[in-house]
Each structure stands twice: as structure tokens, then as C-alpha cells.
């Protein structure tokens, strides 16, 4: 960010000399800033106007100090004689003061009010741009930012010659998009459920195979081990043949020495 040329910078005097000769450093409950603010004067200002730090102006409008500084830089060529000063050094600094650095901007009340007008116009421009973006996206403007005329124009109904209003068309398009999005979401949900069921079925099948393999291994281990065992056969009910697939063995527990 550019600064005022060195030959146009000013020596800033902290405080304002009052009628009784005392120096006032802070104006309490300033009517414009609605808080306590530090006051200054410029040594080369023939009018000896009361000046305020640019940071106080930024705090009032809840913007970054850098934004105020860029505005002041753009206006410095025409506003210098109307209350814009950049500090080169300071005089009468009170003990314990902080934040006072060379290069800081100090402004008069006239320039504060001009910045306020600029912020009002800037806010109107931002609202207009946001409304245009909302209309382009087919969305409705928030009620807090709409005028009565705009609210009436956006009311549901038909326009001239019985034709649907642009708002009604936008609402229909938005409803169609919402329905399509809902259908797509349900389709994705169904696919997810089918995938989950398929995975569950495959896991159950694998579990049964593993259990069968474990039973076979246990049977082989029992057959190879020691102990009294008896073979229990199952015969076919129709022909009386032994069904080998249903043959099982039972072991009698023996006491080990």
C-alpha cells in the first residue's frame, strides 16, 4: 500500500489543548464513535482540527484497518487538505501509550463522515450484487434485504397476460431439481443396502464353509488319538444301508494316569 510522500507527512501531536491550557488525550463516550477515543492534532494543520486514528474508524464500521487505509490512499490527493494526515513522528506522547507508529493515518471528523457515506454506498452495491447472484441461481432473496416492492414482485402468482411470473418459474425449476436430487439419493441408498446384504450373505457362506472344515479337522484329530471309541452308524430308512455321510464316533472318557 502506497503512502503519502515524505514532504507531505505530518508531525502528529498527541492530545488536544483545551481552553484552560490543559491537554486532553481521550474523549470519553464520543458521540460519533460511541466509545472512548484518543484525540490528536497535526502540527502543520492551520485549522488545528481534532484528528482520530484510522483504527478507530475501522472499529466503528467493523472492517479491517487495512480497508480503511486503502480508501484513504485512494483519496489522499483530493482529501489531504480536508483532514487526512500521515504521521512522520509524534510529540507529547503520554506515558504508556502504544500502537503509535510512523506511517499511521489520522483523519478529521469530516473525512470520517465521508468514509461513512462511502460505506453506505458500498453496502448498497454489495446487496445489489448479492440479489443479482440469487436471481441467477433461482433462489429467493432474504426478506430482511428486500423492499416491499421487491417482495410483492416475488410473490407467487401470474404476471401480465396470465403468464407465469419469473419467480414461479424459478420455484418450479427449484422443486424439480430437489425432486431429482431426492430420487438420486434414494437410488444410491438402495444400491448401498443391496451391497450390504450381498456382503453379509457372502460372509455367512464363508462362515459355514470354515465351520465344516473345522469339524472335519477335529474328526481327523479324534480318529488319530487314543481312547475307546464307538462308531455310531445311521441306516437308510428305505433300504437299510449304512449312510456313511451320517456316521459319527463317540469317545468314552478315560482317566489318565
Tell me: the pLDDT tens digits for 174-188?
Answer: 777 777 776 777 777
Q: Where are the domains of the chain?
A: 6-119, 124-154, 193-222
Axis crossing angle, helix 54-61 with helix 65-79, rounded to the nearest 10: 120
Alpha helices in 39-147 (DSSP H): 54-61, 65-79, 109-137
pLDDT in tens, 124-144: 888 888 777 777 766 555 554
Q: What's the pLDDT score for residue 79?
A: 43
* DSSP-derived 3-state class of residue 159: coil
Q: Taking the chain (257 residues) in consecutive chunks of 10 residues, what is each chunk's mean pLDDT?
A: 61 88 86 89 86 87 83 65 80 80 85 85 82 70 49 48 61 74 71 76 88 86 69 78 77 63
Amino acid at each position: 500500500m502506497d503512502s503519502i510522500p515524505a514532504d507531505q507527512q505530518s508531525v502528529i501531536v498527541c492530545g488536544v489543548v483545551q481552553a484552560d491550557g490543559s491537554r486532553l488525550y481521550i474523549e470519553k463516550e464520543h458521540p460519533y464513535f460511541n466509545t472512548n477515543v484518543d484525540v490528536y492534532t497535526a502540527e502543520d494543520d492551520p485549522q488545528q482540527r481534532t484528528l482520530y486514528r484510522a483504527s478507530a474508524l475501522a472499529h466503528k464500521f467493523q472492517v479491517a484497518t487495512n480497508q480503511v487505509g486503502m480508501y484513504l490512499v485512494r483519496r489522499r490527493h483530493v482529501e489531504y487538505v480536508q483532514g487526512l494526515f500521515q504521521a512522520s513522528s509524534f510529540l507529547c506522547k503520554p506515558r504508556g501509550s502504544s500502537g503509535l507508529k510512523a506511517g499511521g493515518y489520522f483523519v478529521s471528523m469530516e473525512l470520517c463522515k465521508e468514509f461513512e457515506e462511502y460505506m453506505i454506498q458500498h453496502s448498497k452495491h454489495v446487496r445489489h450484487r448479492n440479489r443479482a447472484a440469487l436471481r441467477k441461481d433461482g433462489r429467493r432473496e432474504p426478506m430482511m434485504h428486500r423492499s416491499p416492492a421487491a417482495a410483492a414482485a416475488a410473490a407467487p402468482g401470474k404476471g401480465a397476460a396470465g403468464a407465469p411470473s419469473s419467480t414461479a418459474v424459478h420455484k418450479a425449476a427449484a422443486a424439480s431439481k430437489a425432486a431429482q436430487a431426492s430420487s438420486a439419493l434414494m437410488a444410491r441408498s438402495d444400491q448401498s443396502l443391496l451391497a450390504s446384504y450381498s456382503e453379509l450373505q457372502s460372509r455367512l457362506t464363508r462362515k459355514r464353509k470354515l465351520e465344516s472344515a473345522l469339524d472335519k479337522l477335529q474328526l481327523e484329530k479324534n480318529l488319530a488319538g487314543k481312547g475307546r471309541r464307538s462308531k455310531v452308524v445311521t441306516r437308510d430308512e428305505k433300504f437299510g444301508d449304512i449312510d456313511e455321510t451320517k456316521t459319527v464316533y463317540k469317545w468314552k472318557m478315560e482317566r489318565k494316569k
